[in-house]
Every structure is written in structure tokens, then in C-alpha cells.
Amino acid sequence: MTKLSVNINKIATLRNSRGGDYPNLINFAKKIQSFGADGITVHPRPDERHIKYSDVYNLRPVVYKEFNIEGNPIKKFIDMVIRNKPDQVTLVPDAESDLTSSAGWNTVKHKNYLKEIASELNSNGIRTSIFLDPELKYIEPLNEIGADRIEFYTEGFAKNYKINKEKAIEPYTKCAKLINEMGIGINAGHDLSLDNILFFKNNIENLLEVSIGHALIAESLDLGIETVIKKYLSYLK
């Protein structure tokens, strides 16, 4: 079974938009785990526009399933994850100005840098995952880097899924074959949804974990809004 880690960034975005504490991030993390999700993912960015660094410290005591923290390994980020010791850190090369993650690592160019970060995380008992585009040239350096896992950046798959799903999945299956041969674990995330997740899972051998946030929260609104409207109407009659 592939594990589901729920990214709760969008819940924090909704909270921050009103400046209060509703929806409450801690309560939602507890509920999500109780509903059967296998883990919680957060991706704090330097401007803290959704998940705040303080949220990570507040979440750590209540996340009793897997805790995955994503982000660019700047010093502030690394200091925070070492203090909180999540189960996994997913290294993502996002710039401060990025609206969302838009590319994986160039593991050839940044091999030594990533090796240094992975070594520090592993020495603290933290599993390291590298956010990766599905390109074969970026796979060879992974063993030298010391990565435990990779996370496929799946926007390309999601964007082309409805056009030609067989062609959309092809680069991922080719890369997954080599990664499995190297004994490195495979995660995936970004724009995976109820529409495309089953096809992706069925075509990627040994897919260990998916991290889903934006689509899952949007789908929750779509599938749950009728129930809420009917409750309001019943109270207002």
C-alpha cells in the first residue's frame, strides 16, 4: 500500500487570510490522522505565507504518524528540522519568490551541496528525500548524495494526463525502474488528485508515499460543501 501524507499548507493559508486561528491547524492535523491518513506534510517558506515556523514546533507533539517537512535547506530551515526531528525531510529547491514548487533539483550541479545536507540530516536520524524531475541524468548522483528517497515532481504528469496519460507517465516509469534498482525509495507529489492518482500508483512500482495538499483540500470543499449548506439551511428555517 502506498502511504498518504496530507499537506496542510492550504489550511494554514485559509487561517492566515483572516489573521486568527480558525481553522485551527493543530485540530486539523489530529483529525486528518484520526481519519486514517498515514502522515502530515508541511512546507514552510521563508515568508511564512502559509505554514509558519512556529507551526512546526506546535505540530511536532501532536503528529503521531509520519511527519514530513519540505523546504529549501537554508540555515533557518535546517536548524528548525534538526530541533524538531521529523521522520522525513524533503529537500525542495524553491526560491523565496516561488508561488509553489516549480522544479526538482539538478543533482549533477548541486551534488556536493545535497550530499552535505543529507549527511547532516541522516546523522540526526532524519530520512532524506530529494525532490526530483523525472530525468535519468539526475538519478545517477543519488547514491553518492546519500538520499534515502526521492520525491517525483509530478506537475508534468498531471498537466498531460488528460491529453495522453500513457505518454505522461512514461518518463516516471523509466526513472522509477532505475531508482528501484539503486535501492532508493520513491515518493511523489504535486498536482496529484483523485482524477489521476490511481493511474500513477498502478504504473510506478514500489511507490512508497504520496504527499497531497492543494487538490485534496479543494476536493474536500467540492465533496463536502453540500452537507454544510444543508446544515445552514436547516438552522435557518
Q: Which residues are catalytic?
A: 43, 70, 190
Is residue 139 within 8 A of residue 178, CB to CB? The reply is: yes
Q: How far apart are CA 137 and CA 112, in angstroms?
A: 16
Contact present, 16 and 49 (Cβ < 8 Å): yes
Helix axes 111-123, 75-84, angle to 10 degrees: 20
3-state secondary structure 82-138: HHHCCCEEEECCCCCCCCCCCCCCCCCCCHHHHHHHHHHHHHCCCEEEEEECCCHHH
> What amino acid occupies position 49?
R
